[in-house]
Amino acid sequence: MIYTILTIIIALFIIVIVAKPFGHYLAIVFDYETVSFKKTIYPVERIIYRLSGIKQNTQTWKQYALAFILTNGFMMILIYLIFRLQDILPFNPNNLKALEPTLAYHTAVSFITNTNQQHYSGENNLSYFSQMAGVIFAMFAAPASALSISFAFMRGLSGKAFGNFFVDFVRAITRVLLPIAFIMGFVFVFLGAPETLGPSVIAHTIEGAKQEIARGPIGAFLSIKELGNNGGGFFGANSAHPFENPNGISNFIQIILMFLLPTSLPFTYGKIIGKKKQGKTLFIAMLMMFLIILGITLVSEYQGNPDINSLLSQNTHGSMEGKEVRIGIGQSAFYSVVTSATETGAVNNMHDTLTPIGGMMVLCNLLLNTVFGGVGAGFINIMMYAIIAVFLSGLMVGRTPEFLGKKIEGKEMKLIAVTLLMQPFLILVFSAIALWFPMGYHSISNEGYHGISQIIYEYTSAAANNGSGFEGLKDQTPFWNITTSIVMYLGRYFSLITMLAVAGSLSTKKLVPESSGTFQTDTAIFGMILLGTIFIVGALTFFPTLVLGPVAEYLTL
Amino acid sequence: MNTKQRNNRFSKKGHPNKSMLKHAFKESFLKLDPRNMIKNPIIFLVEIGFFITFILAIFPDAFGNSNVEYWFNIDVSCILLLTVLFANFAEAIAEGRGKAQADSLKKSKIETMANLIKGLGQIDIVPSTKLKKGDVVLVSQGEIIPGDGEVIEGLASIDESAITGESAPVIKEAGGDFNSVTGGTRVVSDQIKVRISNNPGESFIDQMISLVEGAKRQKTPNEIALNTVLISLTLIFLLVVVTLPFFTNYLGFQLEIPVLISLLVCLIPTTIGGLLSAIGIAGMDRVTQFNVLAMSGKAVEAAGDINTIILDKTGTITYGNRMASSFTPLMEMPKEEFLNWVSLSSLKDETPEGRSVLQLIGQLGGTIDEKDLENAKIFEFKAETRMSGVDLQSGRKIRKGAVDAVKEWVLEQNGTIPANLDSETMVISKEGGTPLALAVDHQIIGLIYLKDTVKPGMKERFEQLRQMGIKTVMCTGDNPLTAATIAREAGVDEFIAECKPEDKIRVIRYEQGQGKLVAMTGDGTNDAPALAQADVGLAMNSGTSSAKEAANMVDLDSNPTKLIEVVAIGKQLLMTRGSLTTFSIANDVAKYFAIIPAMFMEAIPKIKILNLMHLYSPISAILSALIFNAIIIPLLIPLAMKGVTYKPLNSNSLLKRNLLIYGLGGVIVPFIGIKVIDLIVSLFI
């Protein structure tokens, strides 16, 4: 327990220390005005631009969005083909078959949308080529895309030109994702994660049984999985598997890597718009939400299940079901909250067997999608709530709402209104469909209130592009593959594009100079208004559903 | 000044009287027409809910098997109907107030006969409604001016009390800035020829009537944007409620339709949805009550956003007439004697300057003695001589006036000019004052320092404006020195000296180029382009018609200081809208905790732990939440009409205050309200 609290404090301390300088670093490396890495990375990038014919011209927000959609679409088709043809492609030492069409489609959508929802088990279904050319490739491309979009969004808000998607995309990989992932890959290998292209090892146990031990290029996989908030596991068991999370230090490093980009972006934003306090306010607001959710989860997990506690001689065990003994309750709960807050989706324990309240907290992180959130997408989502907060409360100072000196008017609010509508639409309507049709609810492994949690979690995870599962759900069916693919696709592209359009609309507006009459968006009061807006507009929408799922389960334990 | 404005004839209509209430009551039923209701989708959804529960009240099984008791359906449908009626009533009462103002305006629009001048001096008598733009009419003493227009010949004094409520007649004459006349006003003396400037139905009063009646009311940009968000929230809650039965169905229990409708109605923002248009209408109304006619709601909204106000110095910031502020003796003589001469010079001087001289003497402790003036010969101030004076019975001559004029007069009397006259004159001029010389016989005995005086309270108001982040710019024709002095005294942020009309446009464009919204007042024809360029242009009713056309607001009292009030009203309108929106949305927390446990309690008994308010029963909880949701609308109508309390503070203090009252209050009040209603409701169950 003390060890847990200590690691949490150290982890948060590191994040608070690192987020700001790293955020500023991001602002610098994506800046178009100054050339950074003149002697190192820049020449390499120029070769990439030349070879791929990137013109580096400035794009409008529409061109930028189109480049994003088309590039991602092309990549998705490519990955789909790899999964479908893996039996005839190289690096398939275990002679795995091709994925069936709906699963291949679901997996392709899942990885390119940064969701990494997995309806398959890596070691049984994917060849090394699929893991490397399909999965790892998408694990770089997806966060790089979202990071690019978030930079275009920030530039738009600050009134600068939107930049060029391809240049941003290349920079995201060459200057951020690849260098860190490269180094961290070695660290994970050093800590015990395998990195090999050899086939599974056959072990003969003492009893004489034959055991097949899967392995593969895990070190390289692991670092980008966490850094890019991807979360898809090389193995079905994800980071609960010893090869994918060998020890306490690797567990700790994974948490820091998940946190790194989402916590830095608010500071990047503050620097780009030239108002550092704005970024700090956002960071603190998100950190508060995080701490509340983490606190409740820890208490709930340490309390455990009263029915089981009463069976044990000591009731201080907490809930160990579905958790690795070597990781323990505290580290599992912390990991779960971080992976859900940052929309990573990696798991080191089974979320299905978290206590009802613990599970609900993790679910809340997904529903809110603003407690840091995934690379780029989470930041853009909290900006949406910030604009709503400004719009609803900004009038109270007696001026029409302004955000960063730009008037928020009908056009922006229309875009935000549909964006806001999209998430409850995806989660509630699809859950209702799944609960109505047998092919949906037959996948539930645990009837009753918990069944509702399983279904809600699956779609919320898809809509928020988190990817983790309440693993009880038997989701490898065409119904689940297709419906969750739709949810992931809309959950990803719809809101990113509409919010980019908001930035596009704001960027053309005249800047209203700040005065003492201006609504301040960098104060503690605004932080509170933002949290209130997220709570009332975002969270309360799901209150009835949560009551029927985890709350009812908790009350009827 | 302010009390006088408030006492004009509109303010009597400020509070709803009995007939207005009656009218609004009738209107709220007429507005139930779905074709009308669909314009307000939020309340329309409540009306649909009413229709459904109404059908259920008669045929309980109309939409499948139902276990609710029949009276529950009746109760819910009644409360829903009330909710819709309350929302309609809010709108109707706001419109009603406008109507009352329009009616009193219509009365002033008496149909008169006009003397239409045809070519060759022939005069036709036609009804005023037949007059077209460009027609020329002759209006004589005692007649009513048949329509808006410009005086093209003659000079007359006109009683404009029908429009402004001000009883003193004003002079209108051909040419210059005082040539515009308003239909419905009366010529008190003399005779004028007026060129009509509008076609029938387009006159100033017609426009005013249609505006206050709300007939032409268009939603303002901010209202449209807010509506978008509210509709989006409504759709989200519609999704929540429509999908909910699928969840409960899976769990093996059914939710009753009236219960689902109740949940929906409680969650959608009915409070602000019901009051939104009333707030807008009431905001326009408050402007009209100040005797300012806004051409659109957009202009009022823009007033709240103003960053820079451009004000003319004379008449707005200062009184314009110059007041004596000190005396400079130029000759050795006792103080009493000097003051005596000064008072003699001004006792018969009726100009404001003369009055102020006597006032100053009083302040300096001098005595005023009228005895010496017996049989004196009085010379009134004349523009040609630029002096006034008195020839006493004793033969002594006193002259007071412009320094060079007095100087000339003294030289004519073979008098001497004090050596320090020029230097002292210079001192006064440099400080921005106007020197008057005072001569007795052949000697100039001293100077009177006349100063333009800042109206009391202006400094404080500019300070308030500064706190609100609004910059004030003063325009004056004075030289830079004088302008700087007044600017410092009044506490304006910037000033433009030797200001020409082009300078105003330049300043407006410059400020707008920086993204600021600019407000200004004006009355002359040469102000028109600047008035049009400004985001809020307030024209004086006494001004020319081109100025009024260019502006988006007209002040009927012609008081330029009112621009500051207009800004305050604009801000108050926006604050009211924001505060009630926040309140309405914050209410959802309590309503959730009332209805959700009630809905599920039967199927999942342990959920009663969420019944934080300890409401009596599921039925009473739902009804209480619904009743609260309904009656909060009429309870907030007075606030929507009056607007939230407005204080000129900076944004953070305003936000803190309003957030505490309407945000926190919005969370807490419904918890108390629903509990109280539940205590009452439980008595009947």
Report ipTM (2 d.p.). Answer: 0.92
What per-residue confidence (pLDDT) applies to B203? 67
Among A485-499, B49-63, B360-374, B396-410, which stretch is predicted with the lowest mean pLDDT?
B360-374
What is the Cα gyration radius of chain A?
A: 23
pTM: 0.86
Interface contact flag, B663 A393, Cβ < 8 Å:
yes
Interface contact flag, B579 A551, Cβ < 8 Å:
no
Q: What chain B residue is nearest to A509 in terms of C-alpha separation?
A: B515
A520 closest CB neighbour out of B263, B574, B652: B652
Element (H, E) at B195: strand B186-196
C-alpha–C-alpha distance, residues A351 and B211, integer Å: 62
More confident residue, B467 or A504: A504
Interface contact flag, A398 B572, Cβ < 8 Å:
yes
Question: Is B14's pLDDT higher than 50?
Answer: no
C-alpha–C-alpha distance, residues B32 and B38, integer Å: 10
Decide if B206 is catalytic. Answer: no
Across residues B459-481, what is the average pLDDT? 85
User: Locate tokens 């209050």: which residue?
Assistant: B665
Q: What chain A residue is nearest to B567 in terms of C-alpha separation?
A: A398
Band (B363; pLDDT cuts 50, 70, 90) = confident
What per-residue confidence (pLDDT) applies to B483? 84
Contact list in A for residue B253 (CB cut-off 8 A) is none
C-alpha–C-alpha distance, residues B28 and B26, integer Å: 5
Of B97, B94, B109, the closest CA to residue B163 belongs to B109
Question: Is B205's pLDDT higher than 70?
Answer: no
**Is the CB of A420 inside 8 Å of chain B's CB atoms?**
yes
Angle at B272 between CA B270 and CA B276, to 5 degrees: 120
H-helix segments, A158-275: 165-171, 178-191, 218-227, 248-272
**Is the CB of A414 inside 8 Å of chain B's CB atoms?**
yes
What per-residue confidence (pLDDT) applies to A484? 95
Across residues B443-468, what is the average pLDDT? 85
Token pair listed for A23: 């955020």
Across residues B640-659, what is the average pLDDT? 87
- Taking the CA atoms of B353, B354, B357 and B362 in sequence, report the sign of the dihedral they define: negative
Question: Is B5's pLDDT higher than 60?
Answer: no
C-alpha–C-alpha distance, residues B640 and B93, integer Å: 11
**Is the CB of A391 inside 8 Å of chain B's CB atoms?**
yes
Interface contact flag, A418 B589, Cβ < 8 Å:
no
C-alpha–C-alpha distance, residues B607 and B596, integer Å: 9
Question: Is B12's pLDDT higher than 70?
Answer: no
Read off the pLDDT of residues B94-149 as tens digits, 9 standing for 90 and up. 888 777 777 766 766 667 778 888 777 788 888 877 888 888 888 888 888 888 88
User: Locate tokens 């090389």: which residue?
Assistant: A234
Contact list in A for residue B650 (CB cut-off 8 A) is 516-517
C-alpha–C-alpha distance, residues B570 and B283, integer Å: 7
Among B10-24, B352-366, B592-606, B607-621, which stretch is predicted with the lowest mean pLDDT?
B10-24
Read off the pLDDT of residues B28-65 as tens digits, 9 standing for 90 and up. 998 898 888 888 999 999 999 999 999 998 888 878 77
Interface contact flag, B244 A429, Cβ < 8 Å:
no
Question: Is B2's pLDDT higher than 70?
Answer: no
What per-residue confidence (pLDDT) applies to B15? 58
pLDDT tens for the 557 residues of chain A, in order: 788 889 999 999 999 999 999 999 999 999 988 888 888 888 999 999 999 988 889 999 999 999 999 999 999 999 999 999 999 998 888 888 999 999 999 999 999 999 999 998 888 899 999 999 999 999 999 999 999 999 999 999 988 899 999 999 999 999 999 999 999 999 999 999 999 888 888 888 888 888 888 888 999 899 999 999 999 989 988 999 999 999 999 999 999 999 999 999 999 999 999 899 999 999 999 999 999 999 999 999 988 887 777 777 665 678 888 888 888 899 999 999 999 999 999 999 999 889 999 999 999 999 999 999 999 999 999 999 999 999 988 889 888 898 988 889 889 999 999 999 999 999 999 999 999 999 988 888 888 899 999 999 999 999 999 988 887 788 889 999 999 999 999 999 999 999 999 999 999 888 888 888 888 888 899 999 999 999 988 788 999 999 999 999 999 87
**Is the CB of A473 inside 8 Å of chain B's CB atoms?**
no
What per-residue confidence (pLDDT) applies to B475? 87
Of B622, B588, B452, the closest CA to residue B76 belongs to B622
C-alpha–C-alpha distance, residues A381 and A373, integer Å: 8
**Is the CB of A179 inside 8 Å of chain B's CB atoms?**
no
What ranges make up the beta strands (E) of B376-529? 377-379, 387-391, 397-402, 434-440, 443-454, 471-475, 494-496, 518-522
Question: Is B1's pLDDT higher than 60?
Answer: no
Question: Is B246's pLDDT higher than 80?
Answer: yes
**Is the CB of A178 inside 8 Å of chain B's CB atoms?**
no
What per-residue confidence (pLDDT) applies to A24? 95
- Residue-wise DSSP of A244-262: TS-SHHHHHHHHHHHHHHH
**Is the CB of A422 inside 8 Å of chain B's CB atoms?**
no
Interface contact flag, A523 B247, Cβ < 8 Å:
no
Interface contact flag, B236 A516, Cβ < 8 Å:
no
Q: Which of B148, B312, B478, B678 is flagged as catalytic? A: B312
Contact list in A for residue B607 (CB cut-off 8 A) is 547, 551-552, 555
**Min CA distance, B493 vs chain A (Å)?**
14
- Residue-wise DSSP of A374-427: STTHHHHHHHHHHHHHHHHHHGGGTS--EETTEE--HHHHHHHHHHHHHHHIII
Question: Is B454's pLDDT higher than 50?
Answer: yes
What per-residue confidence (pLDDT) applies to B208? 67
Q: What chain B residue is nearest to A429 in terms of C-alpha separation?
A: B243
Read off the pLDDT of residues B269-313 as tens digits, 9 standing for 90 and up. 999 999 998 898 888 888 888 888 887 788 888 898 899 999 888
Domain positions in chain A are 2-203+213-273, 353-555
Band (B395; pLDDT cuts 50, 70, 90) = confident
H-helix segments, B252-317: 257-267, 270-289, 297-304
What per-residue confidence (pLDDT) applies to B165? 60
Interface contact flag, B228 A532, Cβ < 8 Å:
no
User: Locate tokens 């983490």: which residue?
Assistant: A294
Across residues B491-501, what is the average pLDDT? 86
Interface contact flag, A536 B469, Cβ < 8 Å:
no
C-alpha–C-alpha distance, residues B128 and B110, integer Å: 9
Contact list in A for residue B592 (CB cut-off 8 A) is 540, 543
Side chain identity at residue B73, one-letter code:
N
Asked if B150 and B136 touch (Cβ cutoff 8 Å), the reply is no
Contact list in B for residue A405 (CB cut-off 8 A) is 515
What per-residue confidence (pLDDT) applies to A303? 87
